[in-house]
Amino acid sequence: MIKGIHHISAFTKSATANHHFYTEILGLRFVKNTVNQQDTKIRHLFYGDYQGNPGTLLTFFEYKNIGHAYNENNYFSTVFLNVPKGSLAYWESRLNDYSIVTEYNSCKQTLAFEDDDSLPLAFIET
């Protein structure tokens, strides 16, 4: 029995830009590159922590011709990623160095931003 979330899947227009964002900017490990089981022409990218622990995986299906995000009636709104306590200032500076717009919430101790496909993300200190 799996307790909790195993992984979260989303869509991307560009596997190349997605790979750069999640590995080079955020520093996640590229776990594997596979295909969608229902349509083997669709790439399926996996990122996670360096131990490959369940609940740490983000996966993306590449659909080159998808439109843009409509953040209206989502099943979820923001993907939160844990970072060490005291590291939000580092991440804010790092993301700003890449011209990524961030929003710091001092009450919740979170740093919100979006990936290249407008997926809402936030770092939260743990």
Q: What is the pLDDT of residues 5-23, one digit of tens each?
A: 667 888 899 999 999 999 9
Q: What are the distances in angstroms from CA 60 to CA 15, 76, 104? A: 8, 16, 26
Report the alpha-carbon distance of residue 82 to residue 55 in Å, rounded. 11
Please give the pLDDT value at position 123. Answer: 94
Q: Which fold has domain 76-126?
A: 2,3-Dihydroxybiphenyl 1,2-Dioxygenase; domain 1 (3.10.180)
DSSP per-residue codes, 59-91 = EEEE-TT------SS-S---EEEEE-TT-HHHH
Could you name the CATH architecture of 1-67?
Roll (3.10)
pLDDT, tens digit (0-9, with 9 covering 90-100), for 84-119: 999 999 999 999 999 999 999 988 899 999 999 989
pTM to 2 decimals? Answer: 0.84
Scored b (16 or more CB within 10 A) or e, 1-30 reads eeeeeeeeeeebbebeebbebbeebbebee
Domain boundaries in the chain?
A: 1-67, 76-126
Cβ neighbour number for residue 69 with a 10 Å cutoff: 14
